[in-house]
Amino acid sequence: MQNFIFHNPVKIYFGKGQAAHVADEAAAVRGPVLLVYGGGSIKRNGAYDDVMAALRRAGSTVVELPGVTPNPRLDKVVEGVRLVREHGVGLILAVGGGSAIDCAKFIALGAGIGEDEDLWDDYVETGRPAPEGLVPLGVVLTTAATGSEMGDAAVLTNPERNRKLGYVSFPLTPRFSVLDPSYLLTLPDEQTTYGFVDMFCHTCEQYLSLPDDDNLSDEMAEAIQRHILRSWRACRRDPRDYEARSNAMWDSTLALNRVISRGKDEDWVTHGIEHAISAYFDIPHGAGLAIVHPHWMRYVYDASPEATARFARWAVNVWGVDATGKSARVLAQEGIERYVDFLRRVGAPLTLAEAGVPSDPATLDALADHAGEAGGSYRRITRDDARAILASCV
Ligand code: NZQ
Ligand code: ZN
């Protein structure tokens, strides 16, 4: 196993009514609370009322920043940074999905850097580590998707430059996250699907990578993937099923809290290409992943005997493909096709056209330029490989 450091200090409050703990957390800091949220779904699923009640009990002053868009944008972060400085905010509280959380993370970062530094150019573009001592961040989660609630990553769009970039730095890690599955009961079917695609893809991007030595991380990844598929089916059967929603919420958090990537290379090429698509066309993250992920798989599974063996293992252990008398290559192909069938059945888009994304040569070039040298583990993906993968997505 490769060497690693594991440090995940996020305190999780899981279950019905757990937003009440926001009162204790808010009482432990000095200064007002900046409430960061999106377009208003939190006012229909109970999260806003629960949080406001808790903050009243704590005696906190609340400053609100509504209007965070899906694929959150730099201008909203700038607005938030101004509020933090103006009010001397002591806690930034994101209430919503990955977009509200990531916006809040960047607000904390933007408020913590020097006045002569530029958040986008000096940090997001370069990946320079965030300074310590940022305004603490709390989360009340309302989607089961990104894992941002228990991680140090955040993703931001700069629409003026058609850039959407991930940024990873430990100080962005939330201090606590409330995971109350009741808030998921109002999720539209589409968002439920996108969330499942996202968490499933996250587990794959850690699992479908070198090294292939015996590693508990891989076995845990398979278990999480099987469980995601079970929760996914259960949520489709009954979107109001609290038990199914609880499983979805914990699945998504465990899919990206760094446990299953320990000892692994990881391979985030699919995410790199997806971010290029949503940078230009602002489509939901999960929709872009559903389009790219199987095409990336078809491009990579036979890159080496190790790659084929890993995809074959995935087909058997996650998709239940019967291995009798089949070569690793055939098993790998069957696993990928099972995945595509599943995505089709749940109504995820499978081509750029289905998501309304054009695929003329100039667009594909621009998207490939954004994806750049996209990384990779079993197969290194260059800018031209990324373009070839995109060209197969039309
Ligand atoms: O804006 P509101 O009104 O809140 O509506 C949202 C939004 O329209 C709605 N919604 C959220 N919770 C709801 C709900 N509607 C009804 N009931 C609820 N309980 O859903 C829409 C999408 O919300 P969003 O927060 O954008 O979804 P998600 O959690 O999927 O986050 C996606 C963002 O996270 C980034 C993505 O790129 C994208 O920008 N990611 C962040 C990662 C990270 N920080 O580690 C990793 C991921 O790979 C991902 O890239
Ligand atoms: Zn993702």
Q: What pLDDT is stored for residue 186 in this prediction?
A: 97
Which protein residue has the closest C-alpha to ligand 1 atom 49?
146
CA distance 314 to 329: 12
Span of 212-216, 242-246, 277-281, 345-349 with lowest mean pLDDT: 212-216
pLDDT band at 2 (very low <50, low <70, confident <90, very high): confident
Query: In this structure, are residues 290 and 198 in contact, taking their beta carbons and an 8 Å threshold?
Result: no
> Which of 157, 308, 318, 162 has its CA nearest to residue 228?
318
User: How much distance in Å is there from the Cα of 195 to the middle of ligand 2?
Assistant: 8
Which protein residue has the closest C-alpha to ligand 1 atom 18?
187
Q: What pLDDT is stored for residue 172 in this prediction?
A: 98
Which ligand 1 atom sits nearest the alpha carbon of residue 183?
A: 19
CA distance 387 to 365: 7
Burial 319-339 (b: 16+ CB within 10 A, else e): bebeeeebebeebbbbbbbeb
CA distance 293 to 201: 7
Which ligand 1 atom sits nearest the alpha carbon of residue 97?
A: 25
Q: What pLDDT is stored for residue 315 in this prediction?
A: 98
Which protein residue has the closest C-alpha to ligand 1 atom 46?
146
> Measuring from each residue's beta carbon to the nearest atom of ligand 1, which residues come in under 6 Å?
38-42, 45, 70-71, 96-100, 102, 142-143, 145-148, 151, 153-155, 183-184, 186-187, 191, 194-195, 198, 271, 285
Q: What pLDDT is stored for residue 1 in this prediction?
A: 81
With 0-12 / 13-18 / 19 or more C-beta atoms within 10 angstroms meaning exposed / middle / buried, residue 212 is middle
Give the chain's mean pLDDT.
Answer: 98
> What are 94's strand-pairing partners?
36, 139
Which protein residue has the closest C-alpha to ligand 1 atom 37?
285
Q: What pLDDT is stored for residue 139 in this prediction?
A: 99
Among the bound ligands, name the one nearest to the CA of residue 48.
1
pLDDT band at 104 (very low <50, low <70, confident <90, very high): very high
User: How much distance in Å is there from the Cα of 323 to the middle of ligand 2?
Assistant: 30
Q: Which residues contact 274 (CB under 8 A, 6 or more apart)?
A: 285, 288, 289, 291, 292
- For ligand 1, pick from 37, 73, 143, 270 the residue to mutate: most ligand atoms within 8 Å of CB: 143
Mean pLDDT of 61-70: 98
User: How much distance in Å is there from the Cα of 292 to the middle of ligand 2?
Assistant: 12
DSSP string across 323-344: -TT--HHHHHHHHHHHHHHHHH
Query: In this structure, are residues 77 and 62 in contact, taking their beta carbons and an 8 Å threshold?
Result: no
Percentage with pLDDT > 70 across the chain = 100
CA distance 19 to 305: 49
CA distance 349 to 197: 11
Which protein residue has the closest C-alpha to ligand 1 atom 7?
70
What is the chain's alpha carbon radius of gyration, rounded to the nearest angstrom?
A: 21
User: How much distance in Å is there from the Cα of 59 to the middle of ligand 2?
Assistant: 36
- Predicted confidence (pLDDT) per residue in 37-58, tens digit: 999 999 999 999 999 999 999 9
Q: How many residues does the chain have?
A: 394
CA distance 391 to 394: 6
Among the bound ligands, name the one nearest to the CA of residue 253.
1
CA distance 287 to 132: 35
Q: What pLDDT is stored for residue 107 in this prediction?
A: 99
pLDDT at 263 over 90: yes
Mean pLDDT of 125-138: 98
Q: What pLDDT is stored for residue 163 in this prediction?
A: 97
Which protein residue has the closest C-alpha to ligand 1 atom 47?
146
CA distance 174 to 152: 8
User: How much distance in Å is there from the Cα of 95 to the middle of ligand 1?
Assistant: 11
CA distance 62 to 219: 44
- Predicted confidence (pLDDT) per residue in 309-329, tens digit: 999 999 999 999 999 999 999
DSSP string across 132-183: S-PPPEEEEE--SS--GGGSSEEEEEEGGGTEEEEEE-GGGS-SEEEE-GGG
**Which residue do the tokens 């893809």 mark?**
201
> Which of 222, 237, 152, 139 has its CA nearest to residue 183?
139
Mean pLDDT of 293-306: 98
Q: What pLDDT is stored for residue 275 in this prediction?
A: 98
pLDDT band at 113 (very low <50, low <70, confident <90, very high): very high
pLDDT band at 4 (very low <50, low <70, confident <90, very high): very high
Is the whole model's pTM more than 0.95, yes or no? yes
3-state DSSP assignment of residue 312: helix
Mean pLDDT of 138-157: 98
Alpha helices in the chain (DSSP H): 22-27, 47-58, 74-87, 98-112, 189-207, 216-237, 242-255, 269-281, 285-300, 305-319, 328-345, 361-371, 383-392
3-state DSSP assignment of residue 310: helix
Among the bound ligands, name the one nearest to the CA of residue 201.
2
